[in-house]
Structure formats: C-alpha cells, structure tokens
Structure 1
Amino acid sequence: MTDTATAVPSTAASSVSLPSTLRLGLARGAVETKMFFREKDAVVFTFAFPIILLVLFGSIFSGSLEGTGLTVSQLYTAGLIGAGVMGSGFQNLGIGIAADRDDGTLKRLAGTPMPAAAYFVGKVVNVLVVAFLEVAILLTIGVLMYDLDLPSDPSRWVTFAWVFVLGVSAAALLGIAASSLPRSAKSAAAVISMPFVVLQFISGVFIPFTELPPWLINIASLFPLKWMCQGFRSVFLGDAGAALEIAKSYELGRVALVLGAWLVGGLVLCLTTFRWKGRKDG
C-alpha cells in the first residue's frame, strides 16, 4: 500500500510539462518591454534622438533633389528609419546586455531553470516592439511634416517587411555579440555608440552617397546599415529615388544577401563571443 501511494505523486510529477522555450521567451519579452518603458530616461533617449535629428536635418536641409521630385527631408526620413531600426537592436542591446552582465542579472538568470535561448528571444521581442514603434513615429513625422507619400503598392510593403525583419534581427544579434566588448556598464555607451554614430555618417543616413569619397562608400558597403537604409529608400522613395543610388538601382537582391549574411554572421559571433559573467567575475 505504501508503494502504491508513493507511485501516484511520482507519476503526476512526470506528467507535468514545462513551458516551451518560445513561450518562456515571449513571457520574458513582455517583462523586458515593461522594464524598458519603466526606464523613462532610456525611453526618451531612444525615441527622441532620431526624432530630433529628423526634425533638425529635415528643417535645415529642406530643398528639392534635382530631377527626382523628392525633397532632402524625405531622403532623411527613409535613412533615419534604417538608423532607428539598427539602433534599436545594435545600440540598445549592446548597452543593455552589458549592464545586465555588470550588475549580475545575467549571472542570476544563468542559474535559473530558464533556457538561455529564452533570454535572447525576450530581448529580440523587445527590440521588435521598440523598432516598430520608432518606425511608426518617424513615418508619422515624415508624412505630416515633409509630405512623404506612403506606398500604395502592396509589393513595396512586402519589401518593407522583409527588410525590417532581416535588418532588426541582424542588428539584434550584432548587439548581443557587441555587448561583450565593454569592460563594464559605465563604458558600454561609449564603446557601442561611437562606432554606430560613425557608421551612420558613412552609410547614407545623413550624407548622400554622392557626396562621399569612394573609399568610405566601400567601407560602408561592408556593414548592414547601408543596405538597410537602401532597402527602406526603395520602399518610401520609390522609382524616383533610385537615381540617387550609386548603382542607379536599389539592388534589392544584394540587400537581402548582405542582410542575410550579417544575420548568419551575427549568430556565429554570439555563439563564440557571448559571456554570461563579467570580466571581474573571472
């Protein structure tokens, strides 16, 4: 009788299924998003910075682009959408995860039953939400202030979808990998932000490629931001904007190829360089 009694709870316990990694990751994503919006200064900086840049550059350089029917302000809108998506993944995750490592959050999470993948899924979910909201805000400003026309052709929205997903995913993986570079949370902002700002200036966000020397264009072409911006320009500037590209074409096939390559490369970098513990923890 004793053997039967003890067998019952054992069977019941074995029949309990643990939540899947995806479900835990989505739950973690909800937590990450709530934590992000509770940090008011981070929210203000993340959303206000590209908005301020768009309003400043769009107002100062408001002339027309000869032979295209487009304005410089519309060109900046498309470029800053790419920079906003890249920043949401690369900059925010690079700095945020470095802070999690420095304050011991990663070390504590590593000691819980939660799969490691669920933590990263949660981070990516948070990035997707922030990037989507940022794009929506920048598009609203572009439409209301700079007469940006939203695409009426469904195929251009399909292009937007795959450029957005590939771009934000590659940026998120690169941000996770780059989070291992800073020695501490205090240095993370400088270490992550400086190369990202430089990359924006050579990737066609603030300065058209026609104004850049060839060697800078060649450097920018190695990184994903240039191709993300090019993809978004194809969506929001249409055929008229193709004349502004170096190849006189948006080269969407190459955009997909380069972003896909950085997605794979970012995953490899994450798997080979990511650290759960800070350097002071050994």
Structure 2
Amino acid sequence: MTSAAHTLRIGIARGWIEFRQTLRTPSDLASYLLNSVIMLVILSFLDRNEPAAGAISLGMIGLPGALATMIVFGGVTSMAQYLSIEREDGTLLRCRALPGGVAGYLTGKVVSVSLMTLLSMLVILLPGLFLIDGMLGNGISTLPTALWVTLLGLLATLPYGAIAGALFTNPRVATGIMLVPIMGLIVISGVFAPIDGFPGWIQTAAQVFPLYWLGLGMRSAFLPDTALAVEIGESWRTLETVGVLGAWAVVGLILAPIVLRRMARRESGAAMEARKHKVMQRVV
C-alpha cells in the first residue's frame, strides 16, 4: 500500500470514528442539529399559507433553500470552527508529529464534517417531504440531482472552511467572521425568495458565489418546472451550476493545501502556549 493510500485510509477511519463519537454525544449532536430542527419548524409554518391554484408554496421554495444553506454552514462554518478549535487545543500539533498526520487529520475532518452535514440535511429533508405539500411530486427521480448538487457543493465549500480555520486561531472569531458574509449571501442569493426582484448588480454579485447555485440546483431537484417562471432566464441552468461550483471546488482544492501546509509549519508548542496564555488573560 502506498503512503498516500495509507494516509487516505487512516483519514477516512478517523473521520468515521469522529462521526460516531458525535452521534453518541447528545450535547454535540443537539448543537449540530439545532439549526436543522429550527429550519424544519419554520418551513412547516410557512407551508400553512395556502398558495393560489397551481402556485408554489413558501414551504416548497424554502426546503431546497434550507438544504443549500446547510451545505454552506457545514462546509464553511463548521469546518472552520473545528479546525480552529483543534489548532488551539494542540490536536493539530500532535498530528503533525506523525507520518502523514496532517493530511490524515484533514481527510478525517472532511469525512466527519461531510457526514454531519448530510445528517443535518436529512433532518430537514425526510420530514419535509411529508410535511410540506407537493414535495413528493417528483418522486425518487429527484434524488440523483440532489445528490450530485450536495457532493459538488461540499467540494466547493469545505476547502474554504479549512482555509478560514487555518487563518483564524480563535474559533469564536472564525465563526463570527464567517457568519456575517454567509448571512448576507443568504439574503441576496434567492435561496428563500426569488432573486428576480433585486437590482441587476445584486443578481450578478450573488451568482459569483456558490450559495446561489446550490439553491438553484436544489430547486431543480425538488420543484416542478412551473417554478422556472421566477428563475433567471427561466432555466435551471444545470451546466452553469456545474461550472461555477466546479470552479470554486478546483480553486479551493488548490489553495487549501498551500495555506494549510504553511499554517502547519508555523505551529509549535510555544505558539500554542502563547494562544492559551491570551485566552487565560481574557478569562481573568
């Protein structure tokens, strides 16, 4: 077995163990899935507003948007937070002492965060299909589209979460800074409401980032073609979705290893102790 294959195997095993530990820790599991439960409750209330005949309900529009948002929260915010925490507590430094330790650690983190993100999406999707009228209309044919959008979305977001986690040594700062642009993108990207009412420059800006295309891809999976009336160009633009998400994934996969290698080289026991000293000073 080659060194790279061994590192990959160890990383996958590490990620699976971390995922199982999260499932067995009620507090960790509850904190991770809280946003999914809140979104599901909101969607169920939105669906109580009866749409006009043939119209798309707010609940039907909101469910694909909630799934897209979970991908971004998991891929960017959760990844950045975990990396910052384990950089601060010395986990990453200890992994660096092992052959292929950093690569295996990052592989494991990608696996565990991806699995938790998928679980958070299922908490919304499975009940939502039955609670929200019309969501089962497309049947099992929706699953392949939803799956490739999810996987490509994770590839397009996880590298940037890793980069953010490498750049910010304080996990609270990392989470706070990442939430601000994500919330802004949620507003302008049309994941919960049509984007066609925004000025043209806002529409253009929204289409630069993955969240718009994740929302569009999820809507193409779960909504009927009658929903195209409010989409830009009245098309699901599948090729453009693949192109933009793929471009973000490629750039992120190139940049993330460079940033992470530089961060790992700067890690030392002295640097970790200095960060702990600053934390203690803030507590005192």
Task: Please state which band the TM-score falls in when normalised by the shorter chain.
Answer: 0.7 to 0.9
The answer as to whether partners of 1:202 and 1:220 remain within 8 angstroms in 2 is yes
Give the corresponding residue for 2:211.
Answer: 225
Change in Cα spacing, 1:181 to 1:199, as seen in structure 2 (3 Å) is farther
The answer as to whether partners of 1:24 and 1:114 remain within 8 angstroms in 2 is no
Give, in angstroms, the shift of residue 66 of structure 1. 5.8
**Structure 1 residue 135 corresponds to structure 2 residue 121:** yes
Give, in angstroms, the shift of residue 181 of structure 1. 3.2
Give the Cα–Cα distance (whole angstroms) in 1 for the partners of residues 34 and 53 of structure 2: 33
Give the Cα–Cα distance (whole angstroms) in 2 for the partners of residues 67 and 257 of structure 1: 35
The answer as to whether partners of 1:47 and 1:134 remain within 8 angstroms in 2 is yes
Give, in angstroms, the shift of residue 101 of structure 1. 0.9
The answer as to whether partners of 1:181 and 1:191 remain within 8 angstroms in 2 is no
Change in Cα spacing, 1:267 to 1:150, as seen in structure 2 (3 Å) is farther
Give the Cα–Cα distance (whole angstroms) in 1 for the partners of residues 242 and 54 of structure 2: 25
**Structure 1 residue 214 corresponds to structure 2 residue 204:** no
Give the corresponding residue for 1:243.
Answer: 229
The percentage of counterpart residues that share the same residue type is 29
Give the corresponding residue for 1:199.
Answer: 185
Give, in angstroms, the shift of residue 200 of structure 1. 1.5
The answer as to whether partners of 2:149 and 2:218 remain within 8 angstroms in 1 is yes
SS of equivalent residue, structure 2 residue 139: coil
Which runs of 5 or more structure 2 residues have no equivalent in the other structure? 273-284
Find 1:174's aligned residue among 160, 165, 172: 160
The answer as to whether partners of 1:68 and 1:243 remain within 8 angstroms in 2 is no
Give the Cα–Cα distance (whole angstroms) in 2 for the partners of residues 145 and 71 of structure 1: 12
**Structure 1 residue 151 corresponds to structure 2 residue 113:** no
Give, in angstroms, the shift of residue 61 of structure 1. 6.8
The answer as to whether partners of 1:95 and 1:192 remain within 8 angstroms in 2 is no
In terms of Rg, which structure is larger? 1
Give, in angstroms, the shift of residue 93 of structure 1. 0.3
Which runs of 5 or more structure 1 residues have no equivalent in the other structure? 1-15
Give the corresponding residue for 1:257.
Answer: 243
Give, in angstroms, the shift of residue 59 of structure 1. 1.4
Give the Cα–Cα distance (whole angstroms) in 2 for the partners of residues 126 and 238 of structure 1: 33
1:108-127 correspondence runs (5 A): 108-127=94-113
> TM-score normalised to the size of structure 2?
0.84
**Structure 1 residue 49 corresponds to structure 2 residue 38:** no
1:185-196 correspondence runs (5 A): 185-196=171-182
SS of equivalent residue, structure 2 residue 233: coil
> TM-score normalised to the size of structure 1?
0.84
The answer as to whether partners of 2:87 and 2:169 remain within 8 angstroms in 1 is no
Give the corresponding residue for 1:6.
Answer: none
**Structure 1 residue 271 corresponds to structure 2 residue 257:** yes
Cα deviation, 1:39-67, whole Å, max 9, x if unaligned, reads: 54443232121331342255147545667
Give the Cα–Cα distance (whole angstroms) in 2 for the partners of residues 110 and 192 of structure 1: 26
The answer as to whether partners of 2:130 and 2:136 remain within 8 angstroms in 1 is no
The answer as to whether partners of 1:159 and 1:231 remain within 8 angstroms in 2 is yes
Q: Number of residues paired by the alignment?
A: 266
Cα deviation, 1:154-186, whole Å, max 9, x if unaligned, reads: 3x4322221111111221111111212324123
Per mean C-alpha deviation after superposition, the further-off stretch among 177-186 and 252-261 is 177-186
Give the corresponding residue for 2:282.
Answer: none
**Structure 1 residue 36 corresponds to structure 2 residue 26:** no
Change in Cα spacing, 1:69 to 1:17, as seen in structure 2 (3 Å) is closer
Cα deviation, 1:87-135, whole Å, max 9, x if unaligned, reads: 1111110111011111111111111124432222211211221122122
The answer as to whether partners of 2:39 and 2:124 remain within 8 angstroms in 1 is no
Amino acid at match of 1:59: F
